[in-house]
């Protein structure tokens, strides 16, 4: 457990948060695995990649093998529109092979926006007086969760914490317990959050172990930028977050502390997008090499405007829509087993464009104000940045169904041990898909009965029947047991899974 200081202040709390001894063993000759010069050199080369080599790399990705840095860089150099079309096609096929037509949805829950750091791009940086600060009480977290689980129908949350003594480990543990404890009646069954993921600053090993025991699904920390000079420029010296290596090795430490799934990410727009793609791939490869497990998810948020944050207004490295599509395609090919998250930072049109190219998770009905679900009118004052897609979960589920994608509310994986190395192996071989297909259909049935509008049911029902027919045809042995669970859900039972 944490040492709780009687009256922690941002200053005395900062001391001792970073424990260099916990990351020392990962460094090689005192250096981390991001070699800026070597990555830049790969990008500087002017050699036009040979089409045969690119096709061989695409074939490797199609067999669900991770690409190395040279292979990823070669893809980033492709100029030929025909080869890009082949890469897009392969990305879509890989997505389908590993994840079929399933999309997982979640919502962010911002529980605190106080922060001791001063990241120049973030509306929550400590000196930004334009943002009203707040840390939710447990009663407020319960109320927010009741709306998310009981009215909207979410089953997964990403809970977001500022880095501050008021949102220390004890606060996190209590908030996670509070969220899991909420159970609200819905139209036929009940609403409940079944997977709590968290996005929170790097923590020491002993705190990570406590979070794992509390039932955290995925622990997410974004490196923001892998480019060290840029990292230094946007994270002022003296801040906890200024320590690049402490952040870089958080996921290594988290996995070794027992956390089953971790999520990496880069904030696109801080530096050259091609460098950040190489950084993400280097991160995934180093996790695989040293800890034996790659990231469960990869995120690639684009930098958004934020309240009173001039840094974001004149970005040298802003990523165009066309390049952003390339980010998704190359990541899909390079890390073929990983879940890929596209969020409401992107507008509906862009999300429709990116989802078929390899994304597997998306949020909906999102509100990034602290207390914002309950207190919608104060949303504008507390938000971290501005969202480009404000559609409800019901609208997003309908939109996905009309594109032939089934929204999966499945949270079975981490509850029956299909996480970490195990899930990676299952995904690579396609075996996980069998469980996921069954659970996607069962949870979609639940959701249509409990939360869907008439318009969404009208689009969702035919898709569901199509999926049931596919289970019968492709998994005849599992079909009778599956139908038994399906009937029980139709009769009002909830949370049955394979």
Binding residues vs ligand SAM (CB under 6 A) = 115, 121-122, 124, 160, 162-163, 199-201, 221-222, 224, 267, 301, 303-304, 306, 312, 345, 384-385
Shortest distance, position 107 Cβ to ligand SAM, whole Å: 15
C-alpha dist (Å) from residue 459 to 69, 249, 262, 453, 465 = 42, 44, 34, 10, 11
Cα-Cα-Cα-Cα dihedral of 281, 106, 120, 326, to 10°?
Answer: 40
Shortest distance, position 279 Cβ to ligand SAM, whole Å: 13
Site for ligand SF4 in 109-128 (CB under 6 A): 115, 117, 119, 122, 124-125
Told to check if 217 binds ligand SF4 by CB under 6 A, we report: no
Burial (Cβ within 10 Å: 0-12, 13-18, ≥19) of residue 278:
buried
> DSSP letters along 306-361, please?
-TT-GGGGS-TTPPPHHHHHHHHHHHHHHSTTSEEEE-TTS-HHHHHHHGGGT--E
Site for ligand SF4 in 12-31 (CB under 6 A): none
Cβ atoms of 43 and 76 closer than 8 Å: yes
Cite the DSSP H helix spans in 136-272: 138-145, 169-180, 205-213, 228-234, 244-248, 250-256
111 or 124: whose CB is closer to ligand SF4?
A: 124
Round to whole Å and give the CA distance between 153 and 189.
11
Report what 283 binds from ligand SAM, ligand SF4, none; CB cut-off 5-8 Å by kind: none
Burial (Cβ within 10 Å: 0-12, 13-18, ≥19) of residue 50:
exposed
Strand partners, 408: 104
Shortest distance, position 328 Cβ to ligand SAM, whole Å: 17
Report what 312 binds from ligand SF4, ligand SAM, none; CB cut-off 5-8 Å by kind: ligand SAM
Round to whole Å and give the CA distance between 112 and 279.
29
Report what 267 binds from ligand SF4, ligand SAM, none; CB cut-off 5-8 Å by kind: ligand SAM
Cβ atoms of 287 and 295 closer than 8 Å: yes
168 or 407: whose CB is closer to ligand SAM?
A: 168
Shortest distance, position 164 Cβ to ligand SAM, whole Å: 9
Report what 222 binds from ligand SF4, ligand SAM, none; CB cut-off 5-8 Å by kind: ligand SAM
Site for ligand SF4 in 231-270 (CB under 6 A): 241
Which is it for the CA torsion 306, 328, 336, 351, positive or negative? positive
Report what 105 binds from ligand SAM, ligand SF4, none; CB cut-off 5-8 Å by kind: none
Report what 280 binds from ligand SAM, ligand SF4, none; CB cut-off 5-8 Å by kind: none
Report what 125 binds from ligand SF4, ligand SAM, none; CB cut-off 5-8 Å by kind: ligand SF4
Shortest distance, position 123 Cβ to ligand SF4, whole Å: 7
Site for ligand SF4 in 141-180 (CB under 6 A): 162-163
Pair of tokens at residue 483? 């139908």
124 or 284: whose CB is closer to ligand SF4?
A: 124
Helix or strand holding residue 71 (H, E)? helix 69-76
What are the residues binding ligand SF4 (CB under 6 A)?
115, 117, 119, 122, 124-125, 162-163, 241
């Amino acid at each position: 457990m944490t040492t709780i200081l009687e009256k922690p202040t941002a200053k005395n709390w900062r001391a001792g948060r970073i424990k260099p001894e916990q990351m020392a063993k990962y460094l090689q000759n005192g250096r981390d695995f991001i070699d800026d010069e070597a990555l830049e050199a790969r990008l500087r080369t002017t050699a036009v990649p040979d089409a045969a080599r690119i096709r061989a790399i695409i074939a490797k990705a199609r067999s669900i093998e991770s690409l190395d840095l040279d292979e990823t860089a070669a893809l980033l150099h492709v100029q030929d529109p025909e080869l890009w079309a082949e890469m897009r096609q392969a990305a879509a096929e890989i997505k389908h092979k590993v994840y079929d037509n399933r999309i997982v949805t979640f919502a962010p829950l911002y529980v605190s926006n106080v922060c001791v750091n001063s990241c120049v791009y973030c509306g929550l940086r400590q000196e930004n007086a334009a943002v009203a600060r707040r840390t939710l009480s447990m009663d407020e977290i319960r109320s927010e969760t009741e709306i998310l689980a009981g009215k909207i129908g979410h089953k997964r949350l990403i809970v977001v914490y500022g880095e501050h003594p008021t949102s220390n480990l004890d606060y996190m543990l209590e908030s996670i317990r509070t969220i899991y404890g909420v159970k609200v009646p819905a139209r036929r069954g009940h609403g409940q959050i079944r997977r709590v993921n968290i996005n929170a600053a790097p923590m020491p090993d002993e705190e990570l172990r406590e979070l794992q025991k509390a039932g955290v699904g995925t622990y997410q920390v974004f490196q923001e930028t892998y480019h060290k000079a840029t990292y230094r420029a946007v994270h002022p010296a003296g801040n906890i977050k200024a320590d690049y290596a402490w952040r870089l090795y958080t996921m290594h430490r988290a996995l070794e502390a027992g956390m089953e799934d971790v999520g990496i990410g880069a904030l696109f727009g801080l530096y050259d997008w091609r460098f950040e793609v190489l950084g993400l791939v280097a991160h995934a490869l180093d996790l695989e090499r040293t800890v034996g497990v790659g990231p469960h998810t990869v995120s690639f948020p684009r930098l958004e405007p934020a309240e009173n944050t001039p840094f974001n207004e004149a970005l040298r490295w802003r990523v165009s829509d066309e390049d952003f599509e390339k980010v998704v395609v190359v990541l899909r090919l390079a890390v073929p087993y990983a879940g890929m998250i596209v969020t409401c930072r992107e507008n509906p049109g862009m999300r429709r464009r990116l989802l078929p190219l390899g994304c597997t998770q998306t949020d909906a009905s999102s509100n990034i104000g602290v207390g914002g679900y309950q207190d919608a009118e104060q949303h504008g004052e507390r938000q971290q940045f501005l969202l480009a897609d404000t559609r409800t979960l019901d609208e997003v589920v309908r939109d996905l169904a009309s594109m032939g994608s089934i929204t999966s509310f499945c949270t079975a994986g981490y509850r029956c041990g299909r996480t970490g190395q195990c899930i990676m192996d299952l995904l690579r071989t396609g075996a996980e898909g069998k469980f996921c297909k069954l659970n996607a259909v069962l949870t979609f049935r639940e959701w249509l009965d409990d939360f869907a509008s008439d318009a969404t049911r009208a689009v969702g029902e035919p898709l569901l029947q199509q999926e049931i027919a596919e289970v019968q045809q492709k998994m005849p042995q599992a079909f009778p047991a599956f139908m038994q669970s399906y009937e029980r859900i139709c009769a009002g039972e909830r949370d049955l899974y394979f």
